[in-house]
Amino acid sequence: MFIQVEGLSLAFGDQVIFDSVTFSLQKGERCGLIGRNGSGKSTLFRVIAKQEEPDAGTVTFARGYRIGVLEQQIRFSQPTVLQEAALGLREDEKECLYKVEMILFGLGMTEEMLSAPPESLSGGYQLRIQLAKVLVSEPDCLLLDEPTNYLDIISIRFLTQLLQQWEGEMILISHDLEFLDEATTHMMGIHRQHIYKIKGKSADLFEIIAREEEVYEQTRQNIEKKRAHVQAYVERFGAKASKATQAQSKLKMIGRLPALEKLKDMYNLAFSFHEVPFHGKKMLEALHLRFSYDASPLIDDFSLMIEKKDRIAIIGKNGYGKSTILKLLTQELSPSQGNLAVSQATRIGYFGQTSIDRLHPNLKIEEEIASANHDLNMTQIRGICGLMMFSSDRAKKPISVLSGGERSRVLLGKIVAQPCNLLLLDEPTHHLDIESIEALIDAIEEFHGSVVIVTHSEWVLRRIPINKIVVCHKQKQELFLGNYDEFLSQIGWEEEKPEPKKKAPPPVKPQSNKAEIKKCEDRIVVLENSIEKHNAELAAESQTAQGEEFKRLAFQIAREQKEIDALYERLHQLYSQGTQS
């Protein structure tokens, strides 16, 4: 036992978060933690990290046990990204900067970013610095709260493989079920103020909770039927002298029956998009689009035909133009070259990352949804609010007080309010909990129109029946016909393929330094052969996502490459000396 939580209770006013919760974390257990938004996942982290005191209960650790928490509050003290991230290194590893570089590169940072001031990077990259800090500190237990926020698919795949090799303990919060299932050995769930913990996957935990609720409700109904039957007997025969004793006995029986309250309904997002029929085939066609924010084109010679019932995914690293493509398709942006042909029968429903910020803060939820379609009456508007989990008085809440997840639901409500046959969705699952993501995927599957979605979630990519993929590279986009698994098997990510072996330019060997030059060159050959072998092994591990030695191989490659760079630098000096002589 490395962490023991016992009798944990916590409430904020009338809202009970935990009710006498007990669980333990054993050696090597990597636990996914799931639960609805507001169920207390982040609160549990703060309690374990001793950042918040519970109303009752205890949290105890093994002697000398170290907790590593992904901090959401960002504070920087160093002049460069590399130096800031290196603060996480343990005292005996302060010189092991290659470990920091390996993590930062894996999380999608470039070499130029490593020497930049941390404050100069976007909020998403600043969170990656925080993640790198806690990973390189190698604590006994990791507490990671939504570590994939703002990460692209490549970085998420890297993080998944890294966490699979984590030798300590871990509790991981995420709304991406595939990421959770791949990175963990156990699953924990917060449900109705209690915590469930099992060895297995998320589906196993959901099944246990659903079965327990079903048994509870069946037991409650049986008790209520028995109570009603006994009460009817007492009322019928209680006044008769011959039956009075039996009636009193049955009355006492009623008092001994357990009082099980009916479980409160859990709010669920459940909706469908309001469809407009489309009788043609081609809904929209982009031809040779070009667009840039500066001198270099971000989108170049991009063409795409969207046909009826298409399911198209746009994938790629951050900053490669995925959201920009959607803005071009909605004509929110105009291309510098190329044409966009949109059928007159096409009606677009657009969920954009920046659209959430454009919700009017002073409007109520029902007013914001009503603004999407002035033909709706109040009954219809309230109906959509209810579908989005804003029933009765909740629909009167102002936008300004809503969380990110609630604002996402408002924006989805606006799309539902406005009939459409082409959905353009930019990271629509970002602020939603697992149940809401499931409801959104169900609505997409039932939608008879076409869908174009930008997402970094491999879970979503596999759940939606994708038939086309736009793969965004730097200043280049390519179209793949097929689903995501077919893309991985046939093409795969460039960033996960082994780099070609470096070749030293053929120099003229000066005689005076011949011995040292040969020694350097021989050592480079040995190291390059080793890197080639390790890269092949790393590529194999990446494809199977089961590499037990992934972390060791990555560290070894970084160490060998660093030595090669130093040897090439020394060779350059030796060649220069020979030329001068």
- State pLDDT tens for residues 370-379: 999 998 999 9
The pLDDT value recorded for residue 512 is 56
Q: Under a CB-based contact definition with an 8 Å cutoff, are residues 443 and 397 in contact?
A: no
Assess contact for 114 and 141: CB atoms under 8 A.
no
> Look-up: residue for tokens 């803005």?
327
Contacts of 460-463 with C-beta under 8 Å, sequence gap 24+, read 460/429, 461/313, 461/315, 462/178
pTM of this prediction exceeds 0.85? no
pLDDT confidence bin for 322, thresholds 50/70/90: very high
Query: Using one digit for the tens of pLDDT, what is the confidence trace for 86-106?
Result: 999 998 888 889 889 999 999
Average pLDDT, the chain: 86
pLDDT digits (tens, 9 = 90+) for 461-508: 999 999 999 999 988 999 999 999 999 999 988 777 665 555 555 554
Q: What is the mean pLDDT of residues 400-423?
A: 91
Rounded to 5°, the CA angle 453-455-456 comes to 160
* pLDDT at residue 547, as a whole number: 46
Q: Element (H or E) spanning 378, and its range?
A: helix 378-387
pLDDT at position 337, please?
95
